[in-house]
Amino acid sequence: MTTPADAMPKPITGSEVLAEFSEYAGAQAMVDQLSDGGFPVESVRIIGTGITSVEQVTGRLTNGRSALAGAGSGAWFGLLLGLLFTLFTVGFGVLWIVLWSVVLGAAFGAVFGLIAHAASGGRRDFASIKTLAAQSYSVTVDTATAAQARQVLSTPLV
């Protein structure tokens, strides 16, 4: 039988922490510096600890906004189909095929956007973007290459 403690990830053995950062950008800059210095970055890990799910609400989701979002998606899909249809068309009708495909795609997308919004029954009348954030980020490297990584980091790039 598996216990919750068994389901937790095991610490990575055979690695050393080069630095810790409070923001991801710092860890990313360090890995970029290692890469620019010719270090084999395949042995580098950026480990986030204290992971938190963050959902940023971007606005109210109304019928109009749902229809507009659906129309935009449908227009792109219509453009794709229109361009595919033009592969089998000869003559000046190519532009009309693409135009009508975009218009029809936008119309169907708007209708489906409204239907999807109505189907939610008002339980989720907002739009949002979900991300993960960590309290800190550690840059680690395999123990065998740690000395080389520290040397690359101590050498200024020209």
CA proximity to 109, closest of 141, 66, 148, 49:
66
Q: Express each pLDDT in 17-49 by its tens digit.
A: 999 999 999 999 999 999 999 999 998 999 999
pLDDT, tens digit (0-9, with 9 covering 90-100), for 52-97? 999 999 989 889 999 999 999 999 999 999 999 888 877 767 888 8
% residues pLDDT > 90 (the chain): 67
- Spatial neighbors of 17 by CB under 8 A, at least 6 apart, are 138, 139, 140
**H-type alpha helices, the chain:** 4-7, 24-36, 63-86, 94-119, 146-154
DSSP letter (8 states) at residue 50: S
Mean pLDDT of the chain: 88
- β-pair partners for 141: 16, 44
**Is the confidence at residue 110, as pLDDT, over 60?**
yes
- Alpha carbons 139 and 153: distance in angstroms, whole number: 12
CA dihedral 81, 83, 88, 91 (to 10 degrees): 130
Residue 128's contacts (CB-CB under 8 Å, 6 or more residues apart) are 55, 56, 57, 58
> DSSP letters of 82-106?
HHHHHTT--STTHHHHHHHHHHHHH
pTM beyond 0.75: the answer is no
Encode pLDDT of 111-149 as tens digits: 999 999 999 887 888 889 999 989 999 999 999 999 999
- Return the SS3 of 29: helix
